[in-house]
Amino acid sequence: MYRSFSFLSYLLCLSFFSLIHNTGAWENNTYEYIVIGSGPGGGPVAANLARAGHSVLLLEAGDDQTQNVNVSLWYNFNLAGNDPATRWDFFVKHSDDPERESRYLRMTWRNKDGSFYVGTDPPAGAEQLGIYYPRAGTLGGCAMHNGCLTMNPNDADWDDIAKMTGDSSWTAENMRKYLINLERVHYLPNGTEGHGYTGWLDMTMLDSGLETNPDSKLFLQQAALASGASVDDLPELTMRDMNGDQPNRDQLTGIFGGVSHIAPNQNRSSPGYYVRNTVNENKYPLTLQLDTLATKIIFSNDTTKPKAIGVEFLQGKSMYSADPRFNASEKGTPGRAFASKEVIISGGAFNSPQLLKLSGIGPAEELKKFNIPVVVDLPGVGHRLADNYEAGILSLASRAIAGASEIFPVFLKTSVAKIRDIYMWCGSFSFEGFWPGFPESYGPSQYECAIVHMNPRSQAGAVTLRSADPRDVPDVNLNFFKTGESQDLQAILEAVKWVRGFVSKVGGGLGPFKEKHPCPYPKGNCTDEEQKKYIKEQAYSHHASSTCAIGADGDEMAVLDSKFRVRGVKGLRVVDASSFPAVPGGFPVLPTMMLSEKATEEILNELEEAGGVVRH
């Protein structure tokens, strides 16, 4: 285990820490490692390397909101997503078709007075911004504003990376050890095989309502029957471990327990707290520099390959224009820091490719357009953008539904898939995507199953520069349904019909249900094509990945090798959701944390092989 090190290493940690100024800078502003971004990729790798005795500078463009109750109390996640203290506002496109975009019901516009308008009939003079796609610019990244649902992807997702790269360390069997490293499981007895109980990430299971809410029980009973199970199986099904090491797990469908990165006291558990605790323990050489926007990677050309040796940055509040508090007149304070070993980029699927391009790594023609000197022509940077398609079937019951927070997840395998390809969670809530001020409440009778389509067949999205200004946001076009449209829409439609079938049978005075979408009451009897059209035009997402993707050596679009190393340079890695060759499973937060554990091991292994560290 790489978190174990000698007493000598511990003394070195203390001596390293003594070199830190009150400002958080080292004597010569040089560290062994610089990590850019403190989210699920960067936060853990920075803390892990520091705990292994290596000096690390962690740069975070946002500030520390770990004590903000919108963040710390997990059930406030909708408030966190709308909180200007944590959010970064991106506006994206789903296609290149303006007419299709104009039919998106939650299109966002900027009014003349600076306020937002959401809808398809904007006031005169309003500027169309696009489809809202919030990110979190704060310590801990997007793991600080999400709903905490935590899913290890299907085994095939990991095994496919192993096959693609020829690197067997990516097999699902081996990747489980990184899950074990990071998790502190509370929902199983200590020692249950296949899980960890001493890691930094708390894992609990959400209340399905089976024993606590009679109305939830009514929905669960019908969902169990619809999935081919017995009502008598519900106590076992609602505690079924979606992250377990079951045989043939990719084929397991039906009801599962809602595993989440939540502590037993209902506080959010996340990389932000892991980093904060590592710093606060005052015994590891981790320097956390908040309110610091990385603007460029510094390269040395002293070797046959350019080597990343440092980072240029701007210090100041709200330096990035996605921050709703951004003020262009506030220029920030420029600075530099240097890395004797490596620079690790962990800015996420939008910001990591942007930083690479600003630093001269990316498609040469795009860089030349903005007069950015080309360090390496890597055409894959910013391309192959992937995301889950998300949809839902929302209905209103005939009376108020008891409870509010009880949910249960379901896996389905549709007719167009070889393994399970739908993940959903069902409960008395409304979740229809993102827009300023989301979500819309339809009152106490609302009921939804929110649907995530796993392994979408299209991966044609792109993140491209608008300018060479590092404070400017890039253009993001997800290019939904560019390929595989027929199969992907069929899969989502089958999930919708499955939900409609079991909900329509729920008794206890809750029915009949009036559907809001995708087949709104009182129309009913919508054709398959009408429903598919609605799904295609109103699908949303928030699991972007793959814009700096790992790939095979012969793949010209591969940005990284299987060890996270940026091709064509030395001393530079990308460790975040952008590293995945395809979007992993139904939620990327846990697999990205697993990447961070894997990257830590890769880095320490390379140090050991080079004679730079003694491992225990």
> Is 339 in a helix, a strand, or coil?
strand
Residues 71-76, mean pLDDT to the nearest whole number: 95
* pLDDT value for 9: 35
The continuous run of DSSP H or E covering 88 comes out as strand 87-92
Cα–Cα distance, 386 to 395 (Å, whole number): 29
Token couple for 140: 């801990």
The third-level CATH classification (topology) of the domain covering 7-68+149-176+267-383+546-609 is FAD/NAD(P)-binding domain (3.50.50)
* pLDDT value for 467: 98
Model confidence pLDDT, tens digit, residues 212-245: 999 999 999 999 999 999 999 999 999 999 999 9
* pLDDT value for 2: 36
Model confidence pLDDT, tens digit, residues 75-128: 999 999 999 999 999 999 999 999 999 999 999 999 999 999 999 999 999 999
> Is the model's pLDDT at 194 over the cut of 80?
yes
Which residue from 411, 393, 405, 388 is spatially nearest to 147, judged by alpha carbons?
A: 405
> Is the model's pLDDT at 179 over the cut of 70?
yes
Model confidence pLDDT, tens digit, residues 466-483: 999 999 999 999 999 999
Which residue from 549, 432, 414, 371 is spatially nearest to 105, judged by alpha carbons?
A: 432
Model confidence pLDDT, tens digit, residues 254-291: 999 999 999 999 999 999 999 999 999 999 999 999 99
Q: Residue 334: is the preceding peptide bond cis (ω within 30°)?
A: no
At a CB cut-off of 8 Å and minimum separation 6, what does 424 contact? 409, 410, 412, 449, 450, 451, 452, 495, 499
pTM of the predicted model as reported, rounded to 2 decimal places: 0.94
Rounded to 5 degrees, what angle do the CA atoms 598, 604, 610 make? 140
CB atoms within 10 A of CB 330: 12
Model confidence pLDDT, tens digit, residues 529-545: 999 999 999 999 999 99
CB atoms within 10 A of CB 133: 23
Q: DSSP readout, 192-256?
A: -TT--BSSSEEEEE---STTT-HHHHHHHHHHHHHTT--GGGHHHHTT--TTS--TTGGG--EE-
> Is the model's pLDDT at 615 over the cut of 70?
no
pLDDT confidence bin for 613, thresholds 50/70/90: low
* pLDDT value for 611: 83
The CATH-assigned architecture of domain 207-257+388-538 is: 2-Layer Sandwich (3.30)
* pLDDT value for 211: 96
> Is the model's pLDDT at 73 over the cut of 50?
yes
Cα–Cα distance, 362 to 384 (Å, whole number): 13
Cα–Cα distance, 426 to 429 (Å, whole number): 8
- Whether residue 154 contacts residue 413, with contact meaning beta carbons closer than 8 Å, is answered with no
pLDDT confidence bin for 378, thresholds 50/70/90: very high
Which residue from 439, 463, 446, 361 is spatially nearest to 399, judged by alpha carbons?
A: 446
DSSP state of 169: G
> Is the model's pLDDT at 491 over the cut of 80?
yes
Q: Calculate the average pLDDT of the chain.
A: 94
Rounded to a whole number of angstroms, the CA Rg of the chain reads 24
CB atoms within 10 A of CB 353: 32
pLDDT confidence bin for 456, thresholds 50/70/90: very high
Model confidence pLDDT, tens digit, residues 146-162: 999 999 999 999 999 99
> Is the model's pLDDT at 56 over the cut of 50?
yes
Cα–Cα distance, 394 to 274 (Å, whole number): 37
Residues 346-363, mean pLDDT to the nearest whole number: 98
Percent of all residues in the chain with a pLDDT value above 70, rounded to a whole number: 94
Model confidence pLDDT, tens digit, residues 160-177: 999 999 999 999 999 999
At a CB cut-off of 8 Å and minimum separation 6, what does 570 contact? 303, 305, 306, 307, 308
**Segments making up each domain of the chain, as ranges:** 7-68+149-176+267-383+546-609, 207-257+388-538
Model confidence pLDDT, tens digit, residues 539-584: 999 999 999 999 999 999 999 999 999 999 999 999 999 999 999 9
* pLDDT value for 27: 53
Using DSSP bridges, classify how beta strands 254-255 and 108-110 pair: parallel, antiparallel or unpaired: unpaired
Which residue from 63, 50, 98, 64 is spatially nearest to 284, judged by alpha carbons?
A: 50
> Is the model's pLDDT at 18 over the cut of 50?
no
Model confidence pLDDT, tens digit, residues 305-329: 999 999 999 999 999 999 999 999 9
> Is the model's pLDDT at 13 over the cut of 50?
no
Cα–Cα distance, 581 to 560 (Å, whole number): 10
* pLDDT value for 612: 57
Which residue from 192, 488, 463, 486 is spatially nearest to 351, judged by alpha carbons?
A: 463
Mark residue 567 as left, alpha or beta (left: phi above 0; alpha: psi -120 to 50; beta: remaining): beta
